[in-house]
Amino acid sequence: MTTNKIVPTRHGSAVVTLPSDTEILITRAFDYPAELVFKAWTTPALIRRWWGFETSEWLVCEVDLREGGRWRYVIRERDMEVGFHGQFREIDRPRRLVSTEVYEGFPDGEALNVMTFEEVDGVTTMRTLVQHSCKEHRDGHINSGMEGGMQVSYNRMEDVIAELRGAAAA
């Protein structure tokens, strides 16, 4: 068994791989308990602080965190509105979260996201397996520039979780 090592910052460390013609796997470690990572991922007040870019203006951030519940994010970046939505299929807090995801600019490209939060020695590895219906949708997702925005968001998420942990310790 490998022991995870806590490091000062993991900014820019998310790894994107393509396990099949229709899947994207995103892996990112956080030096915090799974419960805090899950909380940051699913709490609207926290999501508004880390999802997207600092310059993004939030228009909608809704999360109905229950099986069958829906979520929706809409931001404005310059003169462009960008929206995503989906439905929660499975919730096993803080270990697993399964939901659909639709980029509203491409409504036929619904994907299924299977997220796991594995905590070992105080380090939580968050894995998101994005399952598309076809290679063209997967490739469109990859070619959208999503990786750069995701790295920024995950860095911001790490900073929010650090603040949460500091507040809990105080």
CATH number of 15-52+92-169: 3.30.530.20
Q: How many CB atoms lie within 10 A of CB 15?
A: 11
Would you kindly state where each structural domain of the chain is located, as residue ranges?
A: 15-52+92-169
Burial of 41 (0-12, 13-18, 19+ CB in 10 A): buried
Residue 31 confidence (pLDDT): 92
The whole-number pLDDT of residue 2 equals 45
**Mean pLDDT across 159-169:** 82
Q: List, for residues 48-102, the tens digit of each pLDDT value.
A: 999 988 899 999 999 999 999 999 999 998 889 999 999 999 999 999 999 999 9
pLDDT for res 8:
58
> Does residue 108 carry a pLDDT above 60?
yes
Annotate 116-128 with DSSP letters as a single string: EEEEETTEEEEEE
Instruction: Determine the Cα–Cα distance for residues 145 and 162; give it in Å rounded to an integer.
Output: 27
Please enumerate in sequence order all residues whose Cβ is within 8 A of that of 16, keeping only pairs 6 or more positions apart, or say none.
24, 25, 26, 142, 147, 150
Q: What are phi and psi of 101, to 5 degrees?
A: -145, 130
> For the chain, how big is the Rg over CA atoms in Å?
16
Residues written for the chain: 170
pTM for this prediction? 0.89
